[in-house]
Structure 1
């Protein structure tokens, strides 16, 4: 007897492993032969075989038939007709992918049930080492002891010691040392100590009381930055106490003898610098904030660091090997073999990524056709300069000097500012440095200036608008910059300019400062003067501004919100903030064309500059420079070389003529697909003879390698997509093969990744599911049905033993690629 059940496939993902398994289970109840026939492509396969069902390449809306032949065909028909209509359409659903932008905990870690202590992320990277508790010196040991020298002598000795260290220190250490020298000169400290000594207190007690009073005041502040200065005060106090009480033989040396992760309640900058960085692999600080000098040093030296972990939480692990992931913000303790394997593999992947990106660090930034675009760094403090240049910065596109003025009791004096600007210019070694004058007010208030509270500070009394009221402050900054100018290529940028009157006033003030310096015989250097383009009114009189200034730098963040009248920090309207708005692109075009028509240089220093998706538009706009956070520099240089500047210009012109943001995004997606220069199959995605211990390690490595090769910029998100599919149904196909797969927006270049394992790993709970050959499919959603076509094609091939044996025994990556291209007709 022969029966037939006709139906249209309603499954959103087609017939893949999970629905195939459901259908196979129902069909296997019957003795009759049951065949699924796909009427769209003519493929057919046994409905009692998961691989055969997958091999039919059945997709959403495909017309199909179940052909039933055998003694119980009537019974099978009744059951299957009802099943196909009522149950089969609901055995699968559209895969839900986590939102982008979140910090995702990798499933390849979480599936091993790790013991994690969650912490605040301070400095990225992964550290492995023995947990060592830092033993600090209690200041109270000095209480009641008589000093061997006066306060003045102790202060002089500490000053000389710091100056000696500064002579051999690099930029990062020198910056912290200069800060400590400033504390030694602080009147509040000196006056209080001297007053207490005169009143009869011992020097030790006077220092301790003064430090307690100052730190109590700082700790009551609402400013985290000021609270974090407590460590610097205690640092200097300890040095003064040790120096003035040598007979106590108080030692501050803390010796590390093997790779270590140091945990401490507090760690002062000098204590950090005293640690042997050959053995210091990571830091766990219970209280440190992101602006702590110790944390700034940790970042500068690439030491992973987290905070907010109580020592008691880790006490039982002292002397044991632990891992700190500064990117995820976790401390992993009591690590099992599988958890340790995850972190070891993560460290390996990070090293590989650094090697690949390192190839572009010192290469000139240019497009595929040789058009140069300067890639510069945005920095907020002096210590960031050297690491930025080490990461490939071709200049400093934005030095946010307001950070020198914020979270302190008084403004920095001329010498402090001069030293800061000079340090950055020296680190640049002739590369251009754009120093933005203080952008104070608005979202960056300064307590000691007593600026009025405003309902709309972004449009109010800020930046250049406050300079006339605080003229001495502005003149001091200009003097400091002019004095530093001889030490490098100095460019000065004025923020929040909206009229010719404002820039002319600024130029008059600079001339006044120069005249005073001339009369005093103070030498200074020449500067280039530019403005921050963030207020749209500037674009309409670019021809006039070009007569007044030497360069322009577009602040894309503020220019977008001013143009669109959207407060990007207001959740109610933040969704309207988008720099892909055609109006913004036209404004960008007007600024660049206006500048270039008058032979003026124009850069962009907003967050948009590091957005890889938008990069071809920025190239097409004709910008001379893009400035960004230092970690984005090498990847951006690598991405630049994928694009042709003429094609990018055509793209930009098309985008400017779009009607909606959605139209621009669609145009970018189409352009990205057309620019695909990474083949679906490539040797860079073939890993032979891998020593994996688990399915999790295999997926972690294959997805991580896609990040290393520049095929995805969203590694964690892409891995989540893979595991979302695995949660639906295991992709182990038997015979030692597994095909993990996803169709995702998180893959830039659709890829087939291959891993041949030295030993099989368990792919599912099924004992026959061990896999020693993994073929991972990661295809972009815009690739249509290619995802399931390749999957079903592979499934059909893997049925044949000859195919399996041939691919497993390939000697080289090239052989594997050639074989698959031929067999899959790719």
Structure 2
């Protein structure tokens, strides 16, 4: 059954569209179970009914027309119970509802299982049989397993808004919503431009061409080059492979014959498709066919076809690279968009960025935030190839992409964009004003940086120093470890730009979701693995070079602070301090009269929370990284779309943990700052201030909003608000309550990035 299941899922996932996927599923399940009927009912939210969307065995004219209320019939019973219903005679069940249009009269045995995704019933899958009998446990288990696989396909269709299109194919295009994760807050409207890597067939979009002859000529030229490439490979292989293995190259050449695969590609080109898109269509079709074959040997031939397709595509792209025209209102699209790809696009034309992969901590997302470009990452269900050159909306506040927006919805976002621009313009006047409450309590507002482009934006917004400089970014943009002198130059620019304000440089923090291509770390659970201080203490040669570069860069400025990431014990802090002291002595021996900088640790894991006092006795400051701390306290990977909704920095455990750290550190006379995202969100920033946090560090784009909020309230108001929320036990309630109270206090316009826009 496992092999059957695998082939069914594979075939359904490769279906051209949702109706085809549902029809395939119904047919394959009926055949696999040897039953007479398999039907799929899907939940229509607007009509609050289950609609028959596919069936093998019932009347086809009923598909798309027959439906049941959410509590009606046996289908409704499955949905209500959220578990399988297995009956030997459906007609005798009190919930049975007869549907004459379906022709189900002869079928007595009934097995229905819910199709569920993230705790919600999306539909019901049903098998029926003429015999009066109960389906056995293995059949029930098989159908439950299949429905679990189908749920992802249905969820995708729900998200894209195309699920019920077949019911009204002539109707207008409805708005489609694709959920991802916020990469950078903000909203943008523009036209999609798909960026795709070289020789990646799956990323090639459809594109129409007028000069068919020129496209065919391009294909022929590419084929000539690939055939020669295969012959060269065959010649080299003849020296090390046997006759049987060498025969594979003959197969390749036969497949590349103009009357074989290329002939099919040319058919699609003659229909107006460009060569790359036609090649992708043909290769995908052959790969699907091979993968569905029962014979294991033949199934493996799919890899050969893929390889040939990539080779031809590489030649097509090399002879005529796509000249991308970037419109004035450009939304960059891609599976992954690297920072270099982003930097090649004229900044003034980029309105937003969307990727189907990646996380908020990807290098691109960090760059996007530094540039203030609304960004959504991890929008897995977004059909990239269909979005190329289409008008789309990027909602970087909520992490959502909107296509086919109605005029009313587009107007709503245009108003939001205008409001944000006006708000930002109004906040500029606060640049040189202090972040001081109405009753005289002042808090320094600093910035998180990592790129040279951060410097000007930060200074323009009146930053009082750097609370977190991510030193890993200069490491990430290279293909080797930067030398001590290269690091010194980079660090010097940061320190000089913000002097005399302090610049807190975090030592190399890699691992987790931050990797170096030249220093790969492969682990099953990287977030609980070799990362942060663990890596650098195991490689003191890397750590010492970095610290020496920092110290030399601070010569004559004396505004350097060094911060240690991912500390879980006092031993790690002591070992790192020993190395820092050693590096300081070495630099002084070289004749540089440099003061010993302050050294602090990041509080990012629960172990550090409960050792806050012990750590405060050994270092000069503590800095709370609320992103990782929230993640570890709640056991939620916020970059995992399955559980990202559980990530909530207003969770009582998070608030109480932060308050504990602040109180323990202050008892030792040690200051505490916050450099996570909570510092840059108006509501949580005011709560942190009420807790007694000594400084807040955030992305430059949030600084003026937080400053405006601080200047419009009294410290007594924030302390009262803190006391009220600390008595609550629900993070969602706390978040809503904070928003409500701040809205009443006149800060509503500053809370836009916490509100659902759609």
Higher RCO (C-alpha 8 Å, min separation 6) = 1
Q: TM-score scaled by structure 1?
A: 0.45
Larger radius of gyration: 1
